[in-house]
Amino acid sequence: MRNRTQNITKNRSSQGKRYYQPLRYPPIPLSSNDIYIRTTVGDRLDSLANQFYNDVRLWWVISSANPHIVRRDSYVLKPNLEIRIPSNITRILKDFEKLNK
């Protein structure tokens, strides 16, 4: 997995100031192969991404798959949340790259 920030497009405003185009994330459809877990004390998005995808940088996949459960301002998860771990990571990454070309 390449770094997701390498897809950020750099632009210049009419005044010459640099800015970055925001990343767009694909919708993550439900699958019968998805895994559901209950969080425990100390669970973090990056550590779960490492556990299930062997890549801490894929924390955003878990976050995007659980928008009404996972707080967007922290990696840390509250205990006893049931969250979905999407199984089709290859498809999700392809969709991400298509959206951010």
Does any domain span residue 61? yes
**What was the pLDDT predicted at 3?**
56
Does any domain span residue 51? yes
Does any domain span residue 8? no
- Cα–Cα dist 1/8, whole Å: 15
**What was the pLDDT predicted at 12?**
72
**What was the pLDDT predicted at 9?**
59
* Domain residue limits at 92: 25-99
- pLDDT tens digits, one per residue of 43-60: 999 999 999 999 999 999
Confidence band for 84, pLDDT divided at 50, 70 and 90: very high
14's CB contacts (< 8 A; 6+ apart) are none
Average pLDDT over residues 70-82: 91
